[in-house]
Chain A
Amino acid sequence: MSLTKTERAVIVSMWGKISTQADAIGTETLERLFSSYPQTKTYFPHFDLHPGSAQLRAHGSKVVAAVGDAVKSIDDIPGALAKLSELHAYVLRVDPVNFKLLSHCLLVSVAARFPADFTAEAHAAWDKFLSVVSSVLTEKYR
């Protein structure tokens, strides 16, 4: 599965909007993840997961920044996320099913904030993009 030229353009354009509220979107994404899918909290026993906690905000920022890195190197996502891919495979070992859950919650956050920009095409392109990102991050699992 690879991204077409049109999809890449749509993704980069949408990122322009997302980046203006990156930190808030990151935090909101994680809040949505933990509310809708409580089992995902098992990966964060060491975190204060109350909405708005400093750790949640910091981690949300980190996640969205990584998505941004993938957008900025959209022609070479494996290259851009190589270190993160190793981290997830050898250290974090988050079960692959959770990437879908996180991706969905990110899309919900973006859709809620930018409904006019989140057209069917943008929705399709971003769903595919996050799927590619997820594949890259789980590529070295076994």
Chain B
Amino acid sequence: MVHFNAEEKASVTSLWGKVIVEEAGGEALGRLLVVYPWTQRFFDNFGNLSSASAIMGNPKVKAHGKKVLTSFGDAIKNMDNLKGAFAKLSELHCDRLHVDPENFKLLGNVLVIILAMHFGKEFTPDMQAAWQKLVAGVANALAHKYH
């Protein structure tokens, strides 16, 4: 089980407080679909995904990105028990959505890049390390109930 020390928790929560979830969510999901086009397989009903600009401007992508990142915010409130916090979502992603857990890792890394873009110098190597630990923890928690 992943354990976060006080410094890591502080790094994560301080940065998260400044994230505009609505924008960052759409940005992260959009970039996932642009950079790793095979991830579009889960979003056949999202309409126009034919180009980078179509994807980044797509209202369904933005809405779903916001949903996903809002859920990520729950992770930050439950850093000591990610597996518990994501148990239900894990079942959903396995049984209903049929998402390969590899995708959670891809999205986590895209989110880290978005944070780097937004925060620049403030997103130090130590900050990144704390966030990599968090996204890996979330990815594992989401995969935990797979069977």
Q: Chain B 89-128 against A: per-residue CB contact (8 Å), 1 yes, 0 no?
A: 0000000000000000000010011101111110101101
Helix, strand, loop or mixed for chain B's interface?
helix
**Would you call B121 and A112 a contact (CB within 8 A)?**
yes
A120 neighbours in B (Cβ, 8 Å) = 30-31, 34-35, 52, 55-56
B118 neighbours in A (Cβ, 8 Å) = 115
**For the complex, what is the distance from the CA of A42 to the CA of B133, rounded to whole Å?**
19
**Would you call B129 and A35 a contact (CB within 8 A)?**
yes
Please report the number of residue pairs spanning A and B whose Cβ atoms sit closer than 8 angstroms: 63
Provided the pairs A31-B125, A35-B129, A36-B125 are in contact, do residues A112 and B34 lie with their beta carbons within 8 angstroms?
A: no
**Would you call A111 and B113 a contact (CB within 8 A)?**
yes
Q: Number of B interface residues, CB 8 Å? A: 24
B81 within 8 A of A: no
> Which of A72-80, A91-99, A121-129 interfaces with chain B?
A121-129
**For the complex, what is the distance from the CA of A109 to the CA of B113, rounded to whole Å?**
9
**For the complex, what is the distance from the CA of A104 to the CA of B106, rounded to whole Å?**
11
**Would you call B31 and A36 a contact (CB within 8 A)?**
no
Q: Number of A interface residues, CB 8 Å? A: 24
**For the complex, what is the distance from the CA of A21 to the CA of B3, rounded to whole Å?**
36
Please report B residues at the A interface, Cβ cutoff 8 Å: 30-31, 34-35, 52, 55-56, 109, 112-114, 116-121, 123, 125-126, 128-129, 132-133
Please report A residues at the B interface, Cβ cutoff 8 Å: 28, 31-32, 34-37, 51, 104-105, 107-109, 111-113, 115, 118-121, 123-124, 127
